[in-house]
Amino acid sequence: MIKKFNQNTIEKINYYVYLLEDPRTNQIFYIWKGKGNRVFSHLKWAIKIDKETNKIKIIKDILKTGKIPRHKIIRYWLNENEAFEVESALIDFFGINNLSNIVSWHYSKERWITDITELKIKYESKKISIDVDLLLININKLYYFWISESELYEATRKSWKIDINKAKKYKYVLSAYKWIIREVYEVNQWEKLENRYWFKWEIANQIIRDKYLHTDVSEYYKEWSQNPIKYLNKKST
């Protein structure tokens, strides 16, 4: 069993992307990037530590059969950025839910697998033009590209520390991800739970929805703005 590369190999291959394969099923269960002897580290960790992640459990189950995971290098002689790209593309292709990786892959928030509609929204959205007062909620940490209508609503409506007296003056709520409006709601009622507020909703009427859906609101957010709530007021004429 190969346990490590020598220094000559390490210097020749530089960064690489590797996979672990279950010899019992021929299924790939882990993909990551590495340098040096990183590819061999998981077997060592599984033997020495008690932490029971999904990856460690699979490795331990393989070892109990007298076998070891297959270690395969997918691409080598890469620089670090190239390794990130190969790693993220492969995890997208196989699907994070089909692997034992427990952390999101590199670039996953920026350039993960997507469809042509999302690319058009991201790069062709027009700047918002405001003619009614709007409450804008940024849900960056909760959004993903295949989010359902009900999941998007739940992510947007709860639970916010908000000036409720001010919020009640706004009829429409915009749900934003990456500074693009993903849905437009008409608020029927606000409810309080402890020190946070939730709203009840319906999808805004088609005229309002068509006007604001997929518009760009980046001008209202500083790059590292911590407050997800913004109040957008119609322009005076």
Assign residue 83 the CATH number of its domain: 3.40.1440.10
| Residue 17 belongs to some domain of the structure | yes
Q: In the sheet where 27-34 sits, what is the strand order? A: 27-34, 15-22, 70-78
pLDDT for position 79: 96
Going by C-alpha positions, the residue among 165, 113, 109, 115 that lies closest to residue 141 is 109
How many structural domains are present in the chain? 2
Cβ(20)–Cβ(29) below 8 Å = yes
Of 76, 111, 146, the position where a domain reaches its end is 111
The answer to whether residue 236 scores a pLDDT higher than 60 is: no
Same structural domain for residues 58 and 134?
no
Going by C-alpha positions, the residue among 185, 179, 163 that lies closest to residue 214 is 179
pLDDT for position 103: 60
Of 87, 111, 135, the position where a domain reaches its end is 111
Cβ(191)–Cβ(197) below 8 Å = yes
d(CA 147, CA 46): 35
| pLDDT band, residue 190 (cuts 50/70/90) | very high
| Residue 191 belongs to some domain of the structure | yes
Mean pLDDT of 10-16: 96
% residues pLDDT > 90 (the chain): 62
| Residue 1 belongs to some domain of the structure | no
Same structural domain for residues 161 and 202?
yes
Same structural domain for residues 101 and 123?
no
Same structural domain for residues 175 and 145?
yes
Same structural domain for residues 120 and 228?
yes
| Residue 31 belongs to some domain of the structure | yes
| Residue 2 belongs to some domain of the structure | no
| Residue with the larger pLDDT of the pair 235 and 107 | 235
Same structural domain for residues 148 and 75?
no
| pLDDT band, residue 237 (cuts 50/70/90) | very low
Of 85, 111, 137, the position where a domain reaches its end is 111
| Residue with the larger pLDDT of the pair 78 and 220 | 78
| Residue 209 belongs to some domain of the structure | yes
The answer to whether residue 106 scores a pLDDT higher than 60 is: no
Q: What is the mean pLDDT of the chain?
A: 88
Same structural domain for residues 86 and 160?
no
The answer to whether residue 104 scores a pLDDT higher than 60 is: no
What is the extent of the structural domain holding 137? 116-232
| Residue 92 belongs to some domain of the structure | yes
The answer to whether residue 22 scores a pLDDT higher than 90 is: yes
Same structural domain for residues 120 and 220?
yes
Same structural domain for residues 41 and 121?
no
64 residue type, one letter:
K
pLDDT for position 202: 87
| Residue 145 belongs to some domain of the structure | yes
Question: Over the stretch 47-64, which tens digit does the pLDDT of each residue have?
Answer: 877 677 889 999 999 999
| pLDDT band, residue 108 (cuts 50/70/90) | low
| Residue with the larger pLDDT of the pair 200 and 152 | 152
| pLDDT band, residue 184 (cuts 50/70/90) | very high
